[in-house]
Amino acid sequence: MRRERLGFGFALAVLSLWCSMEVAVEAAWSLQTPVKLVWHYYKVHNTCDNAEAYIRHQVESFYKYDKTIAPKLLRLLYADCFVNGCDASVLLDGPNSEKTAPQNRGLAGFAFIDKIKTVLEARCPGVVSCADILNLATRDAVHLAGAPSYPVYTGRRDGMTSTKDSVDLPSPSISWEASLAYFRSRGLDVLDMTTLLGAHSMGRTHCSFIVDRLYNFNDTGKPDPSMKASLLEEMRKLCPPKTKKGQPNPLIFLNPASGSKYSFINSYYSRVLTNEAVLGVDQQLLYNEDTKQITEEFAAGFEDFRRSFALSMSRMGNINVLTGLFVTKGQDKELL
């Protein structure tokens, strides 16, 4: 797999994680330019030298008792970065905030980020942004679940506005064409998309996100023909058709092989190849030549998946970041 070189600095940081892959897919192997973030920002600027260590300690403490924080934070970071960029606006409260958007139903991990923020405020008041906390905590949590500990550049500034109308996260039943167009609109490529969808190797989703595949695929009144018969039977037992308002909306595992262990594994890609993906967008990876080749390679080699995940997560964390100065009442103010 071939990643197009976009820069040297970040490549050095991930060199120990990256290796040559066989599939010839054009893709970037560095952060999107210009890179506005800084390696160990709070240490470099001497504002909170141990910020990353404080965050890591909190993550490790929580993870001992609740392994669900890994998939929860992954989804929370995705919901933040893909909307207004990685600015923590998804964390803001309000009657019409991003939290209230239908696409964010079931979003979790807010209390955990609040806890870390409280700890950091006691040690370094007014310094560490929630956007950086979310990116660093996600990295540390998924590492504990089995993912690589990838570099996270820091120095993000938090956004101050959050509206549900700005949430344009797509349905998990879209085609690969629509999914790729969406990822490309965020500066990511086909390898990033195929890699980041691998986050579905762990965690759960609500039946409401797959019920169309089970009973009325593309308004045909029939199930998705791409679903393996045994998976369809299993999912229908867990997710009955919606027949009345207020009906329960159960949670189901995205990857039964990971299940309640919430472990980061590559069996997600094996399930795609055998038509056993739970979400429609995941099964769509079979229907494009590039995504199918990448899926086959990741299914065969866990380390290839881990290395690509390290870089794609860093690239996602670089989407439309806010940094530096903003102007208020005619004066420059710096938000860290």
| % of the chain exceeding 70 in pLDDT | 87
Average pLDDT for residues 129-135, to the nearest whole number? Answer: 97
98 is in an annotated binding site: yes
Q: From the candidates 3, 56, 75, 139, give the one annotated as an active-site residue.
A: 75
**Would 37-169 and 170-312 be classified into the same CATH topology?**
no
The CA distances from residue 102 to 49, 83, 106, 164, 170, in Å, are 39, 14, 9, 8, 11
Determine contact, residues 188/315, Cβ cutoff 8 Å. Answer: yes
85 is in an annotated binding site: yes
Determine the pLDDT at residue 24: 56
Taking 70 as the threshold, does the pLDDT of residue 327 lie above it? no
Residue 164: Cβ within 10 Å count: 17
270 is in an annotated binding site: no
Determine the pLDDT at residue 35: 75
Least confident stretch, 33-42, 74-83, 111-120, 171-180: 33-42
Taking 90 as the threshold, does the pLDDT of residue 6 lie above it? no
Q: From start to end of the chain, where are the E strands? A: 2-4, 26-28, 204-206, 251-253, 325-328, 331-334
Taking 80 as the threshold, does the pLDDT of residue 16 lie above it? no
152 is in an annotated binding site: no
| % of the chain exceeding 90 in pLDDT | 78
Active site annotation includes 186: no
Higher pLDDT, 298 or 326: 298
Taking 50 as the threshold, does the pLDDT of residue 328 lie above it? no
Determine the pLDDT at residue 256: 86
Interacting residues of 27 by C-beta distance below 8 A, sequence separation 6+: 1, 2, 3, 4, 189, 190, 191, 192
Taking 60 as the threshold, does the pLDDT of residue 266 lie above it? yes
89 is in an annotated binding site: yes
143 is in an annotated binding site: no
Average pLDDT for residues 144-153, to the nearest whole number? Answer: 93
pLDDT digits (tens, 9 = 90+) for 299-313: 999 999 999 999 999
CATH class of the domain whose range is 37-169: mainly alpha
CATH topology for the 170-312 domain:
Peroxidase; domain 2 (1.10.420)
The predicted model scores a pTM of 0.88
Please provide the average confidence, as pLDDT, over all residues in the chain: 88
Higher pLDDT, 6 or 266: 266
Segments making up each domain of the chain, as ranges: 37-169, 170-312
